């Protein structure tokens, strides 16, 4: 028995690229990218193509009650738990060709390469297409992996509605991908996810491989400020109850609080709604969301407390009402040091430039980490552009990360001679 394949072994980068381009033909966007949103006809078509490819590679495809697909390559030991490689084939409405898709098809390419090279492993390999990672049509994101990890119930997931009022449960049946497996019944030996970075760091640092060590935690805090609607021309300054002014001061505080936690923390406001939003009326109501993220649990808790305290203080001074609701939350994730070391070691062995990196976005891997040793590999993307039809990566980048995935996965699944 040897621990890992020799360093001369590589995946077939051209074949991986061809699969990516073939999948991108399904659910084309309007600007060169993709619109293959969850549980649409295009999603169903993409699933059929993936299933066909998996079966041609000798794998057996199972589907669970959330519509997540699991393609299995058997191992030699019937008692050994599988090594999972997963990501998602669904896209944003104006999504790219690689976000999620790269990870699923790279998993399949790993299996195809193992077949070509006659590699047998003790643990089975399971390539996974998680349903509804994006959450664009049915919020929240990472829905199926969340149910799998016990974060959400199946009933909750089925009742999610798209903007037209259609439910997840009905749409899953309609496209014919309601599976029979109980969600979360599978047990994992390890979980790997290969994904585009969706940020500019790897390209700027000229690195081929991102060794992902953590996933940021986040809070989305939705504030509702209540002032008094009044004429901007005829209301004296000292008689105003100005929710807009309170909003401005809180935004400045959010910036200060994040800057005090540098490096390794971000916070900002991306959405604000003034009511009535008229140029000559002081707003009676302002609703806005603060998005704060950091890989440190301590910083995450401290920033949330500081932002809430600052908002209360600002509002009290101005006589403005203030309430806050947490509308989104993840704890930070620390990926498994052994698997992280295996990814770094594979990049080193294969001669690829690499750096440690933290995931700024959420991924299915963040939920999988609750269940099994988990890690991620990042591929650079041009200008850090993602959730955009212009999202681009190079064929060499895609292949390099897939090589690293191949070596790290086969080592974890244990080669049998
Ligand atoms: Zn993604």
Rounded Cα distance between 302 and 228, Å, is 32
The per-residue pLDDT for range 246-301, each reduced to its tens digit, is 999 999 999 999 999 999 999 999 989 999 999 999 999 999 999 999 999 999 99
* Residue 161 CB-density burial (10 A; 0-12 exposed, 13-18 middle, 19+ buried): middle
Rounded distance from Cα 168 to ligand 1 centre (Å): 19
Task: Answer whether 201's CB lies under 8 Å from 358's CB.
Answer: no
pLDDT at residue 3, rounded to an integer: 53
Rounded Cα distance between 125 and 330, Å, is 28
Rounded distance from Cα 34 to ligand 1 centre (Å): 13
Rounded distance from Cα 360 to ligand 1 centre (Å): 12
Residues 6+ away with beta carbon under 8 Å from 161? 138, 167, 168
Rounded distance from Cα 362 to ligand 1 centre (Å): 8
CB neighbours (10 Å) of residue 9? 17
Rounded distance from Cα 88 to ligand 1 centre (Å): 7
- Taking only Cα atoms into account, the Rg of the chain, rounded to an integer number of angstroms, comes to 23
> What are the per-10-residue average pLDDT scores of the chain (417 residues)?
69 98 97 97 98 98 98 97 98 96 98 97 98 94 97 97 96 98 98 97 98 95 97 96 98 98 95 95 97 95 98 98 93 97 97 96 95 98 93 97 98 94
The three state secondary structure string of 203-244 is HHCCCCEEEEEEECEEEEEEEEEECCCEECCCCCHHHCCCHH
Rounded distance from Cα 99 to ligand 1 centre (Å): 5
Rounded distance from Cα 208 to ligand 1 centre (Å): 19
Rounded distance from Cα 199 to ligand 1 centre (Å): 12
CB neighbours (10 Å) of residue 165? 6
Task: Answer whether 320's CB lies under 8 Å from 178's CB.
Answer: no
Token pair 């809180």 in the structure block, residue: 250
Q: Which of 264, 260, 327, 39 is nearest to 170 (CA)?
A: 39
Rounded distance from Cα 313 to ligand 1 centre (Å): 38
Token pair 């080669």 in the structure block, residue: 415
3-state secondary structure of 146: helix
3-state secondary structure of 120: strand
Rounded distance from Cα 66 to ligand 1 centre (Å): 18
Q: Which of 39, 146, 139 is nearest to 89 (CA)?
A: 39
Token pair 């939003």 in the structure block, residue: 277
Task: Answer whether 20's CB lies under 8 Å from 102's CB.
Answer: yes
Rounded distance from Cα 91 to ligand 1 centre (Å): 8
Rounded distance from Cα 233 to ligand 1 centre (Å): 48
Rounded Cα distance between 276 and 282, Å, is 8
pLDDT at residue 183, rounded to an integer: 98
The per-residue pLDDT for range 395-417, each reduced to its tens digit, is 999 999 999 999 999 999 999 98
Rounded Cα distance between 109 and 399, Å, is 10
Which pTM value belongs to this model? 0.88
Rounded distance from Cα 281 to ligand 1 centre (Å): 41
Rounded distance from Cα 270 to ligand 1 centre (Å): 20
């Amino acid at each position: 028995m040897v621990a890992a394949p020799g360093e001369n072994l590589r995946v077939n980068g051209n074949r991986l690229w061809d699969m990516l381009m073939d999948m991108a033909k399904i659910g084309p966007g309007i600007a060169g990218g993709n619109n293959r949103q969850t549980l649409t006809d295009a999603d169903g078509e993409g699933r059929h193509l993936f299933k066909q490819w998996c079966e041609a590679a000798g794998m057996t495809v199972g589907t669970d009650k959330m519509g997540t697909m699991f393609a299995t390559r058997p191992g030699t030991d019937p008692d050994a738990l599988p090594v999972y490689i997963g990501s998602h084939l669904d896209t944003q409405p104006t999504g790219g060709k690689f976000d999620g898709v790269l990870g699923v098809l790279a998993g399949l390419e790993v299996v195809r390469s193992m077949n070509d090279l006659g590699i047998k492993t003790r643990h089975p390999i399971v390539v996974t297409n998680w349903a509804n990672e994006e959450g664009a049509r049915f919020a929240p994101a990472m829905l199926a992996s969340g149910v799998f990890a016990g974060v959400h119930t199946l009933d909750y997931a089925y009742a999610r509605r798209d903007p037209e009022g259609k439910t997840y449960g009905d749409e899953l049946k309609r496209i014919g991908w309601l599976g029979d497996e109980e969600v979360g019944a599978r047990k994992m030996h390890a979980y790997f996810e290969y994904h585009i970075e969706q940020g500019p760091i790897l390209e700027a640092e000229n690195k081929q491989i991102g060794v992902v060590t953590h996933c940021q935690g986040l809070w989305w805090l939705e504030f509702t400020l209540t002032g008094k609607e009044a004429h901007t021309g005829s209301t004296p300054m000292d008689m105003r109850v100005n929710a807009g002014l309170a909003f401005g001061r809180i935004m400045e505080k959010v910036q200060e609080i994040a800057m005090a936690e540098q490096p390794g923390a971000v916070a900002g406001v991306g959405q604000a709604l003034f009511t009535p939003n008229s140029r000559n009326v002081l707003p009676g109501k302002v609703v806005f969301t603060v998005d704060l993220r950091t890989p440190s649990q301590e910083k995450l808790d401290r920033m949330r407390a500081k932002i809430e305290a600052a908002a209360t203080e600002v509002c009290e001074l101005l006589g403005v009402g203030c309430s806050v609701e947490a509308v989104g939350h993840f704890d930070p994730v620390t990926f498994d040091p052994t698997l992280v070391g295996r990814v770094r070691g594979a990049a080193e062995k294969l001669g690829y430039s690499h750096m440690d990196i933290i995931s700024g976005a959420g991924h299915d891997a963040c939920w999988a980490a609750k269940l099994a040793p988990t890690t991620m590999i990042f591929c650079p993307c041009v200008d850090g552009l993602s959730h955009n039809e212009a999202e681009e990566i190079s064929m060499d980048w895609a292949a390099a990360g897939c090589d690293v995935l191949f070596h790290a996965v086969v080592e974890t699944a244990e080669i049998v001679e």
